[in-house]
Chains A and B, each alone.
Chain A
Amino acid sequence: MSSTDQNSSANDLSTTPNTAIDADTLADSSVDTSIESKSTTHFGYKTIEKDDKISMVAGVFHSVAKQYDVMNDLMSFGIHRLWKRFTIDASGVRPGNKVLDLAGGTGDLTAKFSQLVGREGNVVLADINSSMLNVGRDKLRDKGLVQNIEYVQANAEYLPFEENTFDIVTIAFGLRNVTDKDKALRSIYSVLKPGGRLLVLEFSKPENELLNKAYDFYSFNILPKMGELVAKDGESYQYLAESIRMHPDQETLKGMMENAGFEQTSYKNLTGGVVALHKGYKF
């Protein structure tokens, strides 16, 4: 696996070797999510060196890339399609817009954006993981979507685009795999045009305690078994559950976006807060 492959897109499933915090502890939602230091970060519940995260997350996506869409449908019972639709609806995309689908993976959002921006517009599907990018490119080409899509292998922390380039930037189920989220948000801010908006679709914290418990049970007991059974890779699904719990909650992420410079930031909980869509503008 390449050391350049890191955060990658959506509903990630990753190979996670060991976990430093066990699932029951996590289910109590009392895990300290702030134990990151300058040189360490999270990989699920495990605290690792920042430099190692890139290759560890990359391993996950290289291994799951081909089954990614099927597994997404299975894990979310197809609801991820509605979450993504909600994101498109909230994007306010118009013909002629330039859109960056960051950590775009297999290109679900890119496909819709490509149809909506038309010939005058342009969509850049960016992902740090080459396997995901290849699967996405093949899928979109099979759909006949070739005219206005560019593919870029890029790290969200160091976006290789000029300042003020995009009208819309989306990152769906990808931010939690980024090693330095603050740096990535600043990088996104930089490439957005004034007036442009960022949409972050990401797993979050359920609003209801009962739903939270049910969700924990599903994540830590059923999901890994499902992964073991279908994808023969239970550990990846364990990582998925852990990385979701370690991801900043709604208010924290909103604060991080504000710190990066975004204005009029807001979020909308979907499916009771299992997923949240954060929105922020650059003015």
Chain B
Amino acid sequence: MQDFTNQGLTSLSTQFSIQLGKRLLFPQVATATLEFIINKALALNNNKSVSFAAVAQKMLTLELAELPFTLCFTVNTSASKTVVIVRSCSELSDCTINTSLSTLNKLKANQSLTQLIKQDELDVTGDIKIAQQFANIAQSLEIDWQSELAKQLGDVPTHKLLQFGNKITKSLVGRGKQLEADISEYIVHEKRLVVTRSQINAFNQNTKDVASKVDTLSVRIDKLVANIANK
């Protein structure tokens, strides 16, 4: 019953956050930001051999488990430069990928698309070639972030900033691993040793029973003492 109520509350709060997100035009903010970042990255790409011809005017839709809206990518090559347009739409696209952010990270780590589909971590509807071409383009982009940053900040500040960034990243990764280890340790070993609520309740009940018995015994002893005294 409690589980049922919890599920209801979770579903309600999810619905509420989705509605709030839509009211605040969150999908549009997200797609606009993503579009800006992607097109900025394309402008900074040093690998001039990347060809967008195969995906021109093709629509790829990404349905991420973590997002309550879809992300539709369309590549336009007809203007003076190649532009990727990101929208949140519900129309049929040339290829639709249904997956999660963690799986996308695996894709980034060079795990193949077909391998992930076999593992049921990714579902593709439509022309899979389009998804592969989009993935290939994303992997073949070469952006020298250091040089780009140096243009804005200068060489020395950029070097120091990246050094600091690397340190922070290493530290965060280390702490993340430690946290992960602590959590596994807790789940695997310590959680078993932790007293559960039912055990606490049983202990409390036992204590109450003993206290009650002690009280009864005490009354009986008092009676006996009184009897002996009367004799």
Contact = CB atoms under 8 A, between A and B. Distances in A.
Interface stretch (A84-92, A170-178, A218-226): A84-92
15 contacts: A82-B25, A82-B29, A88-B87, A89-B31, A89-B87, A92-B90, A92-B91, A94-B59, A95-B57, A95-B74, A115-B76, A115-B85, A116-B74, A116-B85, A120-B57
| B contact face: mostly helix, strand, loop, or mixed | mixed
Interface residues of B, number: 23
B28 A85 contact: yes
Contacts of A148: 78
Interface of B: 23, 25, 27-29, 31-32, 56-57, 59, 74, 76, 78-81, 83, 85, 87-91
Contacts of A272: 23
A118 B25 contact: no
A144 B88 contact: no
B83 to A, nearest CB: 6
Given A94-B59, A94-B91, A115-B85, A89 B27 contact: yes
Which 3 residue pairs across A and B have the least CB separation, nearest first?
A144-B80, A118-B57, A115-B76
A148 B78 CA distance: 9
Given A115-B76, A147-B78, A86 B25 contact: yes
Nearest to A140: B79
A271 interface: yes
A74 interface: no
A115 B74 contact: yes
A144 B32 CA distance: 20
A118 B56 contact: yes
A116 B76 contact: yes
A232 interface: no
Contact of B78 (A79, A89, A119, A270): A119
A270 B28 CA distance: 12
A112 interface: yes
B59 to A, nearest CB: 7
Given A82-B32, A116-B76, A118-B78, A89 B57 contact: no
Nearest to A145: B79
A81 interface: yes
Contacts of B29: 82
